[in-house]
Structure formats: structure tokens, C-alpha cells
């Protein structure tokens, strides 16, 4: 009653004259009014107040919250930057996984979707099986959690299991109600955040007017806008939301998909007006055709039509595969295509020397995006064949001057699908793929079995050197604050840094004296000092990062960390690799002999004698010492490391110039940290080398490895004298035999679990 009285009078009072009681009542009144205004505007299509009035209510609400921050409501119509920042993008585990959809690309696949469901449910052809059909919105999915009708959390899809907490940002989207009337106590609403074409155009105009980079398409704009740390920025971006599904619920919304969508609409959500109930595949395909016809004039991007079994009890029976429901499918529109002229083919040289052909095109719009470059993959692709020599595009090659068909599928780099031979200029000649590197002139070699031609210039090739430097400073490598791709480019161009070690001598060379970093354009006293300090900070660094930073082919982040865990120190790794080198070279020669035999056998139409050839090649070279052989076996036995990775590692650390450059880098570092050993006191398997083989039934291979490592064991992929335990499941073959031969302790999965305590 007191609150009522306070409320009655509060609305007339200036914000700075409000008492605390009055402020509280006023905030409640404003929350209710604004929620009602949103409902009226969006669901009843009948705004009750003007935009100006709406804005002034929102402003008043914000001012009161600013004066009485402790009174800010959970369902506040506005959001404060501070609170959102504190919230950051924490992770939210979805109470129920957010699923994706399997795809159908033609009418037959839609019909077989219907047949498959009938088979699964044991329904004959005559039994009714209605589906809903609705546009597939090209935005990003969002899960909204309401408790007692109040929005308490919004999370992006993430990997399906865990998403990002974007609650503060979601609250700024007008299509998302803050409060629901008559909703189940617990309700998770799922749908798509998107941006209309008109809003996208004007956002891009604003972006460009203030010198920002325009967004490539509405989906990127929507994603970029939702994932802003400052909700005020999200608020200024006109995002929209369609509800089409749900997650956890305390009570069912309806008995059918269509009923549930209607219920969501009644609760105040936007649902797609093109959602239809269809009695079977023919009606679904008809509706697909009708949606496709309207696609260009809808005013927002869609990329297909989603069909869902209408009966929710049947949906429950059908359930899910690992990441997709059995009861729904997305019928995708064909990829967007356009024809244009191929003006030139440029060759880009990457970090590992790969020569990648890039098509330069007369700019053309493909699905709303202007495309002027496309990938041409490799020389075989240009020549009209795949890696095994089989023709693609009916064997048509691609020539400069050709009329080519470009397509984009999803977010990927544009590709060339086809060539129109009738438009080929008379003077067009087959493209001669360069056999020397366009950047440094070194020979570009294509090795047996490699689809890619590579520059052999190594560090003398400027393109490789600069790409290697960029890799060196990247996030999973040295990650030096203030030193990104742009700075690396500049330093390299000006001759300040030509290899990683020189990053660490920058202070010495350009911290004082005639030429100084702080005097360069774009730098100052403070930023120069910050950079030097950030570089010094990385003189102490983890081993895995050092290995990854070298940019060795096939040695990615995961392999680098596997190596670090196995060797535990730079010196141990490098001496193992050096010791193993003769064996690695013999392996390479043996594989070459095997490859030659394979080709010869194919040409002569006989069976290849691969094992014989391989054994002979290994046997013939007495120069490989038992130590070399043991070091090689140990290296290829590191779990996750195969022979190809091992050869790449051994070879690149054996190249003289490359190795000298690495040694110079190592000399600049103060401490290379071994990976942290798990606390393994009392562990029965600490320090032991374990091999898992055969199929495991109580856990996955990845899980078994993770648990063993957590207990301080080393997990290896091959059995040798160094192996302590072999855990063999059903179907274990040669590894089990080898364990017996070497007298290594052998146990089954249950015995292993008993050993490690369950
Ligand atoms: S239903 C359990 N309906 O498409 C089924 N998804 O490729 C949940 N999407 O992650 C999805 N429009 O982001 C559904 N009308 C629609 C959709 C839709 C767009 C998105 C959604 C999903 C992705 C799967």
C-alpha cells in the first residue's frame, strides 16, 4: 500500500528529488510500462506510445538507476556497461545441448528423410506424418533462460555444450522480452539473432563514415554486434530475434511443434510468419519453392528451409544422433553462383613454402558479397585433375582470360566451380605453374605424394621468412603483446627483424642510439618501452610454445605439446632428434623405394611387394646405429606423432641454416619451462610408459590417455623395450604380440582400471 502511494506520486517527481522508496516504485512502474510497450509494438503490431515517449521512459529509467544503483532490478530495461564488463563473456554450460541440423540438398533427400522417419517409427506409407516447414535464418543461435517469467540468462551456441554469456547484450534487443506472462516456471527459448538487410546497409555506412571496416554480410555484422563487450554498442546495433525452438522446460509448451511456436508467439516472441504445417514431402517441397521465390524480398538472409516432425511425442521417440535431431532436417538452397572473368593468377608463398594460386577476378556480387579473389587450390586443380590424376570439371583446365563460375558456400573463401569454354579467348594459353618461387627465385619442388609445390629457398625466401615470423609471434606461439602481423611486416621490410632471434635484440639495437623505435611513426616513448618489456617477458617461456613457434610442417599446437610432455626439455628433444636422424633418413629412403615399387607394380599390372621392399631397405644400411634406431622408435612412439610428422621434424631441425637460426633464438631465451607434471604422489603408474591397444569399452581412447597422463604416466603409440604396461582390449593385434615377445606387463581394461583405482 505504501509502495502504491509512493508509486502514484513518483511519476511526476524529478529524478534527483525522488526518495529511495519512490525510486523503487518508479523503477517497477517503468519496467512494467516498457515491457508492455515492447509487447504492444512487437506482438500486437499496435504501438501504444510514440518512439519519443518510449525513449524518454528508457532515459528516465537509466537516470534513476544511476542515482540508486542498488535498486536496479534483475529485469532492468536498461543495462549498465560496468555490470556487463564484470560479467565479461563467462562460459555457460547449456542445460540441454544446442544441436545443429543435418542437411538435405535436393528433393530426393527430403523424401528419404520422410521415409527414414517412417521406418524408424514403424509407420506405413499411409499413416499421417505432418511436418512444419519454416525458413532457416542465416544468423547466430541464442538460448534464453527464463525463470518465473524473468529473463535471467542468454548464451550463444558455442560448441553446443558450452556457450558464451551474452545476457547484458541480449537485454538490449527489443525482440527479446525481459519478462513473460504465463510462461512455465522454467523456460529456455532458442532462436536466431539476425540483422535485416536495411539495418545492415546503414550500419555499414556508419562504419565506413567513421573510418571503420565494413562487415562482409549481415550474419557477420550480427555476430560482431552480439559479441561486444560493451552492451551500449550492441544496443546501437539493430539486432532482431526469431524464436523457433526450446531447451529445458518445467512444463511442455504444447503437443505439437506448430502449437509450441504459437505459444512462443503468444508469450511475446517473434516467430517466422512463413512457418507452415505440411502434410508430407510434396507440400514441404512446394513450400520450399515458395520460400525460395520470396527469398530476395524478405529483407533478411535465409539459407534454406527447416522441416520438423510436428508431433512432439514422435520427436521424443526419434531423439538425437550425436549432434543432430532425427526429427528435423535443413533443406539448403543451392550455393550462390556467378560468372565473371579471370583476370590473372597470382601465386602466394606461405610459411612452409607452399605456392598457392589465387584467382584475381573482375569483381562480381555473389550472394550479396563482392568477390574479387578466389582460391584455385593447387596446380592440378587449375589443370583440371585431382591429386590422383582423375579429371575434374570434365578435364577442363582454367586459363587467364577465361569466363569462370564463382561460388561461395557458407562463410568459406570463394571457389571456382566451372569454366565456360565457349567464351574462351582465342589467345588463352594453358597456365604454366611456376617451377621457381616468385618471391625468391629458388626452385619450387613438388615431392612425390604432395599436392602442393613448395619453394626450396627456406629462410632466404622473404615470403617464407615473413610468414614464419608472423607465425612466431602468433597467439599459440610467443604471443608478444604489441607485436602482431602488421608490426612484423614493417620490421621485416625495413630490415630490423629478419628472424625470430632478432626480435630479442631489438632493444639493444633500437632502444637507444641514432635510430630508435620510439622515433618511428606510430611509436612513442611509452609504446616502445612496452614492446621491449613485452619481448623480455617472453625470454621465459613454455617448451610447447617454443616447439610450435618454429613453424615446422605438421607440427601444430597439439603435436608440439605432445612432444613437450614427452621430452620435457629443449635439450632432450634436440638430442633425441639429432640421434634419430640417420634412422629417419633411412625410413625416408625405404618409403621412396616402396613408392617406386608401388608405381612399377601398377605399370606392370602385378601385385606390389611392399613389405619385402621395405624390409630390404631397412636391412641394407648398416650405418644406422641401434641408438639411432631406438631414438627414432621412441619419437614415432610418442602418442599423436606419426612417421610423417617425425620425418618433418627431424629434417627441418637438420637443415643447417634453419638450425643455426633456431640456435640463435634459443640463445636469447633465459628459461624454457617443462610442462607441468601432474601431482602424482602415490600414483601406481607415475613415470611409466603405457600403450593402449585394441578397443576400449569403458572409456574412449582420448579419455584413457588423459587419465593416464593425469596420473603421471607417459602414453605411447608403439610397444618397445621402454614400454612398462600394455593395456589390451578386444581386437588387439601386433602390439599385444610384441608385448608378449618383449616380456612387457600386459593387462586388460578392467585390470588397468583396478590398478589406477577405478
Ligand atoms: S532448429 C534441435 N530452426 O541452423 C534443432 N534452426 O544448422 C535446433 N537455424 O544451430 C535448430 N533457422 O542456429 C532451427 N528455423 C530454424 C533455424 C535454425 C536457423 C540455425 C540454428 C542451428 C543451425 C543448424
- Domain with 484 in it: what CATH number? 1.10.150.20
Ligand 1 pocket residue status of 312, Cβ below 6 Å: no
Q: What angle do CA 216, 219, 220 make, to 5 degrees?
A: 50
- Decide if 461 is inside a domain: no
Q: From the candidates 72, 136, 468, 714, which is the catalytic residue?
A: 136
730 C-alpha vs ligand 1 centroid, how far in Å? 40
100 C-alpha vs ligand 1 centroid, how far in Å? 6
Each residue of 376-398: b (16+ CB within 10 Å) or e? Answer: bebbbbbbbbeeeeeeeeeebbb
* 246 CB neighbour count, 10 Å cutoff: 21
28 C-alpha vs ligand 1 centroid, how far in Å? 36
612 C-alpha vs ligand 1 centroid, how far in Å? 54
Residue 484 corresponds to which cell in the numbers above? 602482431
Residue 724 corresponds to which cell in the numbers above? 612398462
136 C-alpha vs ligand 1 centroid, how far in Å? 6
Ligand 1 pocket residue status of 94, Cβ below 6 Å: no
- Decide if 2 is inside a domain: no
- Decide if 371 is inside a domain: yes
Ligand 1 pocket residue status of 328, Cβ below 6 Å: yes
* 549 CB neighbour count, 10 Å cutoff: 24
Atom of ligand 1 nearest to the CA of 157: 10
- Residue-level pLDDT at 52: 60
Last residue of one domain, picked from the residues 538, 558, 582: 538
**415, 480: one domain:** no
Tell me how far apart the alpha carbons of residues 484 and 475 are, in angstroms, rounded to a whole number: 9
The position carrying cell 502434410 is 279
**327, 343: one domain:** no
Residue 270 structural domain: 95-332
- Decide if 582 is inside a domain: yes
- Residue-level pLDDT at 729: 87
Residue 72 among the catalytic residues: no
Tell me how far apart the alpha carbons of residues 140 and 155 are, in angstroms, rounded to a whole number: 11
Ligand 1 pocket residue status of 99, Cβ below 6 Å: yes
Tell me how far apart the alpha carbons of residues 442 and 465 are, in angstroms, rounded to a whole number: 14
Q: Which residues contact 332 (CB under 8 A, 6 or more apart)?
A: 103, 104, 105, 136, 303, 304
Phi-psi region of 479 (alpha: psi -120 to 50; beta: other; left: phi over 0): left
Ligand 1 pocket residue status of 531, Cβ below 6 Å: no
Largest CA distance in the chain: 101
**301, 401: one domain:** no
- Residue-level pLDDT at 9: 56
- Residue-level pLDDT at 7: 38
- Decide if 466 is inside a domain: no
Q: Which residues contact 745 (CB under 8 A, 6 or more apart)?
A: 724, 725, 726, 739
| Long-range contacts (CB closer than 8 Å, 24 or more residues apart) made by 160-163 | 160/94, 160/97, 160/98, 160/99, 160/100, 160/323, 161/93, 161/94, 161/97, 162/91, 162/92, 162/93, 162/94, 163/91, 163/92, 163/94, 163/98
Ligand 1 pocket residue status of 104, Cβ below 6 Å: no
140 C-alpha vs ligand 1 centroid, how far in Å? 9
Nearest to 157 by CA among 173, 147, 144, 172: 144
104 C-alpha vs ligand 1 centroid, how far in Å? 14
- Residue-level pLDDT at 51: 59
**128, 45: one domain:** no
219 C-alpha vs ligand 1 centroid, how far in Å? 14
Nearest CA to ligand 1 atom 16: 136
Nearest CA to ligand 1 atom 12: 136
Q: What angle do CA 387, 393, 394 make, to 5 degrees?
A: 100
**317, 193: one domain:** yes
**69, 170: one domain:** no
Each residue of 448-465: b (16+ CB within 10 Å) or e? Answer: eeeebbbbebbbebbbbb
pLDDT digits (tens, 9 = 90+) for 457-482: 988 899 999 999 999 999 889 999 99
Nearest CA to ligand 1 atom 13: 141
Atom of ligand 1 nearest to the CA of 330: 7
Ligand 1 pocket residue status of 245, Cβ below 6 Å: yes
**656, 566: one domain:** yes
- Decide if 131 is inside a domain: yes
Atom of ligand 1 nearest to the CA of 135: 15
Ligand 1 pocket residue status of 134, Cβ below 6 Å: yes
**320, 351: one domain:** no
Instruction: Give me the average pLDDT of each 10-residue run along the chain (758 residues).
Output: 42 81 85 71 52 72 82 70 41 91 94 95 94 97 97 93 92 96 97 96 89 83 89 91 97 98 98 98 98 93 96 93 90 89 96 95 83 93 90 95 87 84 96 96 90 91 95 93 93 96 97 92 93 97 97 91 93 97 90 86 87 79 83 87 91 93 97 81 86 82 77 85 90 87 92 86
Ligand 1 pocket residue status of 96, Cβ below 6 Å: no
- Which CATH number fits the domain that encloses residue 35? 2.40.50.140
In Å, what is the CA distance from 704 to each residue of 691, 692, 698, 701?
10, 8, 9, 5
**550, 632: one domain:** yes
- Decide if 90 is inside a domain: no
Nearest CA to ligand 1 atom 8: 99
Atom of ligand 1 nearest to the CA of 103: 7
- Decide if 683 is inside a domain: no
Nearest CA to ligand 1 atom 6: 136
* Burial tier of 623 (Cβ tally within 10 Å: 0-12, 13-18, 19+): exposed
Nearest CA to ligand 1 atom 23: 100
Q: Which helix (H) or strand (E) holds 4?
A: helix 2-10
Give me the number of domains the chain comprises: 5
Ligand 1 pocket residue status of 244, Cβ below 6 Å: yes
Last residue of one domain, picked from the residues 643, 673, 703: 673
- Give the start-end residues of each E strand in 380-497: 403-408, 415-419, 444-445, 454-455
Atom of ligand 1 nearest to the CA of 328: 5
- Residue-level pLDDT at 40: 54
Q: Please answer whether residues 593 and 614 qualify as being in contact, where contact means their C-beta atoms are separated by less than 8 angstroms.
A: yes
- Which CATH number fits the domain that encloses residue 309? 3.30.470.30
- Residue-level pLDDT at 6: 39
**533, 549: one domain:** no
243 C-alpha vs ligand 1 centroid, how far in Å? 10
Last residue of one domain, picked from the residues 608, 642, 673: 673
* 297 CB neighbour count, 10 Å cutoff: 7
Q: 340 - beta bridge partners?
A: 404
Q: Which helix (H) or strand (E) holds 314?
A: helix 312-318
pTM score of the predicted model: 0.56
* Most informative mutation of 96, 244, 304, 318 for ligand 1 (most atoms within 8 A of CB): 244
**489, 563: one domain:** no
- Which CATH number fits the domain that encloses residue 740? 3.40.50.10190
Atom of ligand 1 nearest to the CA of 138: 19
310 C-alpha vs ligand 1 centroid, how far in Å? 15
Q: Please answer whether residues 576 and 592 qualify as being in contact, where contact means their C-beta atoms are separated by less than 8 angstroms.
A: no
Q: Please answer whether residues 295 and 67 qualify as being in contact, where contact means their C-beta atoms are separated by less than 8 angstroms.
A: no
**492, 609: one domain:** no
Tell me how far apart the alpha carbons of residues 454 and 462 are, in angstroms, rounded to a whole number: 14
DSSP three-state, residue 445? strand
Q: Please answer whether residues 39 and 268 qualify as being in contact, where contact means their C-beta atoms are separated by less than 8 angstroms.
A: yes
* Most informative mutation of 105, 136, 291 for ligand 1 (most atoms within 8 A of CB): 136
Amino acid at each position: 500500500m505504501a509502495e502504491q502511494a509512493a508509486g502514484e506520486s513518483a511519476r511526476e517527481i524529478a529524478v534527483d528529488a525522488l526518495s529511495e522508496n519512490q525510486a523503487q516504485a518508479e523503477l517497477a512502474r517503468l519496467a512494467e510500462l516498457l515491457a508492455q510497450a515492447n509487447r504492444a509494438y512487437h506482438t500486437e503490431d499496435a504501438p501504444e506510445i510514440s518512439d519519443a515517449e518510449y525513449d524518454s521512459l528508457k532515459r528516465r529509467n537509466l537516470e534513476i538507476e544511476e542515482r540508486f544503483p542498488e535498486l536496479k532490478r534483475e529485469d532492468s530495461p536498461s543495462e549498465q556497461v560496468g555490470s556487463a564488463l564484470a560479467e565479461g563473456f563467462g562460459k555457460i554450460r547449456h542445460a540441454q545441448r544446442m544441436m545443429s541440423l543435418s542437411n538435405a540438398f535436393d528433393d530426393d533427400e527430403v523424401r528419404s528423410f520422410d521415409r527414414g522417419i517412417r521406418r524408424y517409427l514403424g509407420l506405413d506409407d499411409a499413416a499421417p506424418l505432418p511436418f512444419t516447414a519454416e525458413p532457416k535464418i542465416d544468423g547466430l543461435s541464442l538460448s534464453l533462460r527464463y525463470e518465473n517469467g524473468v529473463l535471467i540468462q542468454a548464451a550463444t551456441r558455442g560448441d553446443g555444450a558450452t556457450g558464451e554469456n551474452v545476457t547484458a547484450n541480449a537485454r538490449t534487443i527489443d525482440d527479446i522480452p525481459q519478462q513473460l506472462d504465463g510462461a512455465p516456471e522454467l523456460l529456455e527459448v532458442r532462436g536466431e539473432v539476425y540483422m535485416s538487410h536495411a539495418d545492415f546497409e546503414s550500419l555499414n555506412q556508419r562504419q565506413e563514415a567513421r573510418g571503420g571496416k565494413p562487415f562482409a554480410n549481415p550474419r557477420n555484422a550480427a555476430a560482431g554486434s552480439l559479441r561486444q563487450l560493451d552492451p551500449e554498442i550492441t544496443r546501437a546495433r539493430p539486432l532482431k530475434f526469431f524464436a523457433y525452438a526450446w531447451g529445458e522446460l518445467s512444463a511442455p509448451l504444447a503437443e505439437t511443434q506448430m502449437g509450441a511456436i504459437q505459444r512462443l508467439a503468444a508469450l511475446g516472441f517473434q516467430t517466422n510468419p512463413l512457418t507452415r504445417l505440411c502434410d508430407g514431402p510434396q507440400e514441404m517441397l512446394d513450400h520450399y519453392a515458395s520460400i525460395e521465390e520470396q527469398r530476395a524480398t524478405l529483407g533478411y538472409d535465409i539459407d534454406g528451409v527447416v522441416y520438423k516432425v510436428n508431433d512432439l511425442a514422435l520427436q521424443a521417440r526419434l531423439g538425437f544422433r550425436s549432434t543432430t535431431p532425427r526429427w528435423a532436417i535443413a533443406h539448403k538452397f543451392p550455393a550462390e553462383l556467378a560468372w565473371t572473368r579471370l583476370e590473372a593468377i597470382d601465386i602466394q608463398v606461405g610459411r612452409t613454402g607452399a605456392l598457392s594460386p589465387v584467382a584475381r577476378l573482375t569483381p562480381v556480387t555473389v550472394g550479396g558479397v563482392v568477390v574479387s579473389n578466389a582460391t584455385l587450390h593447387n596446380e592440378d586443380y587449375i589443370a583440371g585433375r585431382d591429386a590422383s590424376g582423375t579429371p575434374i570439371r570434365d578435364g577442363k583446365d582454367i586459363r587467364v582470360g577465361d569466363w569462370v563460375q564463382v561460388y561461395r558456400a557458407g562463410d568459406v573463401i570463394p571457389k571456382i566451380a566451372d569454366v565456360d569454354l565457349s567464351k574462351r579467348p582465342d589467345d588463352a594459353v594453358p597456365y604454366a605453374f611456376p617451377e621457381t618461387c616468385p618471391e625468391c627465385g629458388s626452385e619450387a619442388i613438388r615431392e612425390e605424394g604432395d599436392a602442393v609445390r613448395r619453394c626450396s629457398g627456406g629462410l632466404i625466401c622473404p615470403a617464407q621468412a615473413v610468414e614464419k615470423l608472423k607465425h612466431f609471434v602468433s597467439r599459440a606461439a610467443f604471443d608478444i603483446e604489441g607485436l602482431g602481423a602488421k608490426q612484423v611486416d614493417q620490421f621485416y621490410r625495413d630490415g630490423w627483424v629478419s628472424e625470430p632471434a632478432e626480435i630479442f635484440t631489438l632493444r639493444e639495437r633500437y632502444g637507444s642510439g641514432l635510430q630508435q623505435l620510439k622515433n618511428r611513426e606510430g611509436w612513442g616513448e611509452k609504446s616502445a618501452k612496452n614492446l621491449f618489456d613485452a619481448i623480455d617477458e617472453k625470454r621465459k617461456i613454455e617448451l610447447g610454445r617454443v616447439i610450435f613457434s618454429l613453424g615446422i610442417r605438421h607440427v601444430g599446437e597439439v603435436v608440439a605439446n605432445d612432444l613437450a610432455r614427452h621430452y620435457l626439455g629443449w635439450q632432450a628433444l634436440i638430442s633425441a632428434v639429432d640421434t634419430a636422424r640417420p634412422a629417419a633418413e633411412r625410413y625416408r629412403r625405404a618409403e621412396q623405394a616402396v613408392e617406386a615399387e608401388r608405381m612399377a607394380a601398377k605399370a606392370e599390372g602385378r601385385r606390389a611387394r611392399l613389405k619385402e621392399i621395405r624390409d630390404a631397405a631397412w636391412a641394407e644400411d648398416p650405418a644406422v646405429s641401434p641408438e639411432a634406431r631406438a631414438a627414432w622408435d621412441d619419437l614415432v612412439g610418442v602418442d599423436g606423432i606419426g612417421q610423417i610428422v617425425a620425418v618433418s621434424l627431424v629434417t627441418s631441425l637438420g637443415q643447417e641454416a634453419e638450425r643455426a637460426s633456431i640456435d640463435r633464438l634459443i640463445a636469447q631465451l633465459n628459461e624454457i619451462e617443462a610442462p607441468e607434471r601432474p601431482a602424482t604422489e602415490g600414483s601406481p603408474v607415475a613415470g611409466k610408459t603405457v600403450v593402449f591397444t585394441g578397443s576400449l569399452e569403458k572409456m574412449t581412447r582420448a579419455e584413457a590417455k588423459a587419465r593416464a597422463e593425469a596420473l603421471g604416466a607417459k602414453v605411447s603409440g608403439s610397444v618397445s623395450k621402454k614400454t612398462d604396461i600394455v593395456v589390451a582390449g578386444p581386437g588387439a593385434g601386433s602390439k599385444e604380440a610384441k608385448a608378449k615377445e618383449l616380456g612387457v606387463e600386459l593387462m586388460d581394461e578392467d585390470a588397468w582400471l583396478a590398478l589406477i583405482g577405478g
